Chains A and B, each alone.
Chain A
């Protein structure tokens, strides 16, 4: 035991589904030492008023994010592909149910 350092545990990100059928959304984070504790801490911290129907916890360092200074150029290529949007198309007047 003597070589164990005093820490506050690892950081975990918490994702909660508030209603069955809805997507999981990021709610915040918790500290925990292992995955069981992470999910228990997340339950105690984020779902005290019935906010949750489903829950994921993920080690924070497992999340890959883009660098914010790159985000414009990262998402840029989609801007010149306007033909992906339904409003791009010129269709005859009088067209119905489309």
Chain B
């Protein structure tokens, strides 16, 4: 069968909502798109451990510390689910990590912003995980089987993340004036970067065409962003905080919120390495990887020795 014919058959399977499995025929471009998207997703989970990990030793109570530890452990787990799922496409975890270190693979830009106060732990769990959930719920129906299954597992665990974040921000919003101010400040700093997590507007999203055609992506950036705003605004109001967008307005006709212009210059600047923490995040990841080398080698040597005996 020729490549042309195989591609037609592949598209027919996609159109029939068939899931594609690792050993199935797939166009090279489909495989490449998945490797890029899934590894970026995996790297995001792992790099995302840094801003929160930073607060484990400074959590305000033992309860808060235990919860944060469990959350960060979940993020590590999500990274591992996604690396495994990506490996089914014929690439190794070593190669994926090397690409990250060379700057050839990206991770979510949101993690290039610093977590300055304890209220940021609330904002991250509530808004950053909230935006991620909106995206991931949609991806549970993605056409690649291992990716879809990883998403189902991840979504089950994410709802704990969002609720713990909201609990933090809600209790600060109900606290002293100073605490409430910290909560509002965290919301101010994380609101717009959270909206940027959905990516550029559909009209400026060059790769979306193929991703939609192949059902890797099931809903567009703008649709998902709007859904996130619509469900989050009342959560902001419930605890007496204010969305930092003077143009935010309920649109009765569309039964949805209109919102202000996103600063895309900031978005592109952070993607291109100009965010507050880009250098720090990557440097820390490289250091952890290098520091762990002797452990990996020792484990490999031990396994070799055991195999000989």
Contacts and interface: CB of A to CB of B under 8 A. Distances in A.
Interface of A: 1, 4-9, 11, 28-31, 33-34, 37, 44-45, 48-49, 65, 67-69
B147 to A, nearest CB: 12
Given A8-B93, A28-B84, A45-B80, A33 B23 contact: no
A7 B304 contact: no
B299 A37 contact: yes
A33 B300 contact: yes
A4 B304 contact: yes
Contacts of B77: 44-45, 48
A9 B93 CA distance: 10
Interface string B108-131: 000000000000000000000000
Contacts of B247: none
A43 B301 CA distance: 23
A6 B24 contact: no
B94 A4 contact: no
Given A7-B94, A48-B77, A69-B25, A30 B84 contact: yes
Given A34-B302, A45-B77, A45-B80, A11 B87 contact: yes
Given A4-B301, A6-B296, A9-B299, A68 B21 contact: yes
Nearest to B149: A28
A4 B297 contact: yes
A34 B303 contact: yes
Contacts of B73: 48
B302 A29 contact: no
Contacts of A4: 297, 300-301, 304
Interface in B264-305: 293, 296-304
Given A1-B297, A8-B93, A48-B77, 15 more contacts: A1-B301, A4-B300, A4-B301, A6-B297, A6-B300, A9-B300, A9-B303, A11-B84, A11-B87, A28-B150, A30-B84, A33-B296, A45-B80, A45-B81, A48-B74
Given A8-B92, A45-B80, A48-B77, A65 B23 contact: yes
